[in-house]
């Protein structure tokens, strides 16, 4: 068990079985510490898995700007609403001990907050209506006792380093988008936490996907990544089984066409073989010379199989997301 990401001035690398105290800047001093703090992107977000809607939210500290974002997509009506707000510099830094902390973003009529404790996680959403967007309100309770083992990875990469902490929780509560209310059933629905404190390289590229569902009171799922890496460094891929976040690597992503065409995701060892069928996407594009971004996140459903090497789980119309990033940061 690793209690802290940085111990005795040395960053710990590899996969951890528990979530540590994560302050990557404890490794540095003076000007180097200031530089690393500025270059490290920090965020905490959730992907929501529900049969009637797709959604995700994020609180992100990019150092020069802090943002809060949220979207809700209605699967039956094929409609999506996005909300976003930003402010210069945070009023408080992202916590080093996220799983025992509060994380709040407030800007004007946009209010998003997470409260973590040993037995539950509360997500509170309260965003005012605008002339073009309805109000959205929500209160979700995530069950810590029913969550998956964490996927925690610290690794070096070309031009940077990543730290990520991911868990899947059973979710109860509601989201009210305009006059449409979505009820969350903790025996069916899930929320996937994605925490990052990563010094991303100037040229940043990745393909990433995640999905999960519940089987006989247990959460099964996967987190898949393909990005430039260094030999011997862990990747942030896993299969979530009832007992572990089983390590996984060497994932191949293949998009069969453009925009809403299916994707295939296959692991080199065959434990993951799934096809993702998108329903829609959100995207952000920016070109400001030295800084640029082409980002898209698709939401839809997965089919195929995943295996821990002994048990094979059929993946049948399981909700999830897939995203692609090309950026100069």
β-partners of residue 277 are: 301
Nearest to 168 by CA among 227, 211, 108: 211
Distance CA 139, CA 123 (A): 6
| 6: in domain | no
Distance CA 280, CA 74 (A): 10
| 275: in domain | yes
Distance CA 207, CA 125 (A): 28
- Number of domains the chain is built from: 1
Distances (CA, A) of 80 to 53, 71, 110, 283: 9, 7, 18, 12
E strands of 148-202, at which residues? Answer: 151-157, 160-177, 180-184, 190-199
With 70 as the cut, is the pLDDT of residue 1 above it? no
- The dihedrals phi and psi of 265, each to the nearest 5 degrees, come to -130, 120
| 3: in domain | no
Better pLDDT: 245 or 88: 245
Q: What is the pLDDT of residue 91?
A: 54
pLDDT per position as a tens digit, 90-128:
556 799 999 999 999 999 999 999 999 999 999 999 999
Distance CA 182, CA 138 (A): 9
Does residue 99 sit in helix, strand or coil?
A: helix
| 256: in domain | yes
pLDDT per position as a tens digit, 203-229:
899 999 999 999 999 999 999 999 999
| 156: in domain | yes
DSSP string, 267-280: ETTSSEEEEEEEEE
| 31: in domain | yes
Distance CA 285, CA 126 (A): 27
**Confidence class for position 329, pLDDT limits 50, 70, 90:** confident
Q: What is the pLDDT of residue 221?
A: 98
Domain hosting residue 56, numbered range: 11-328
Distance CA 214, CA 115 (A): 24
Q: What is the largest CA-CA distance in the chain?
A: 54
Alpha helices in the chain (DSSP H): 30-39
Q: What is the pLDDT of residue 168?
A: 98
Q: What is the pLDDT of residue 93?
A: 77
Supply 258's token pair. Answer: 């453009």
Q: For residue 234, how many C-alpha atoms fall within 13 Å in the half-sphere facing its CB?
A: 19
Q: What is the pLDDT of residue 64?
A: 79
| 253: in domain | yes
DSSP string, 210-221: EEEEEETTEEEE
| 2: in domain | no
């Amino acid at each position: 068990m690793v209690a802290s990401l940085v111990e005795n001035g040395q960053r710990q690398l590899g996969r951890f079985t528990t979530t540590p105290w994560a302050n990557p800047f404890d490794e540095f001093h003076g000007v180097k510490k200031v530089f690393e703090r500025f270059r490290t992107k920090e965020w905490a977000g959730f992907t929501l898995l529900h049969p009637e809607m797709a959604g995700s939210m994020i609180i992100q500290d990019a150092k020069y700007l802090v943002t809060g974002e949220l979207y809700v997509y209605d699967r039956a009506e094929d409609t999506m609403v996005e909300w976003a707000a930003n402010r210069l510099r945070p009023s408080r830094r992202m916590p080093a001990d996220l799983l025992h902390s509060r994380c709040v973003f407030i800007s004007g009529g946009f209010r998003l907050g997470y409260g973590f404790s040993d037995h539950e996680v509360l997500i509170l959403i309260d965003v005012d209506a605008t002339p073009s967007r309805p109000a959205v309100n929500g209160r979700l309770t995530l069950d810590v006792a029913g969550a998956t083992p964490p996927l925690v990875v610290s690794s070096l990469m070309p031009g940077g380093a990543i730290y990520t902490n991911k868990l899947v929780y059973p979710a109860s509560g509601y989201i009210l988008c305009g006059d449409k209310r979505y009820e969350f059933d903790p025996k069916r629905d899930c929320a996937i936490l994605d925490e990052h404190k990563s010094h991303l390289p100037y040229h940043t590229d990745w393909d990433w996907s995640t999905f999960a569902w519940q089987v006989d009171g247990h959460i099964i799922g996967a987190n898949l990544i393909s990005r430039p890496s260094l030999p011997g460094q862990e990747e942030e891929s896993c299969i979530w089984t009832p007992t572990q976040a089983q390590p996984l690597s060497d994932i191949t992503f293949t998009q069969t066409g453009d925009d809403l065409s299916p994707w295939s995701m296959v692991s080199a060892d065959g434990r993951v073989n799934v096809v993702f069928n998108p329903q829609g996407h959100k995207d952000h594009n920016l070109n400001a010379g030295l800084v640029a971004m082409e980002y898209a996140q698709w939401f839809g459903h997965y089919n195929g199989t995943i295996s821990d090497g002994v048990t094979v789980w059929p993946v049948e119309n399981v909700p999830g997301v897939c995203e692609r990033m090309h950026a100069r940061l």
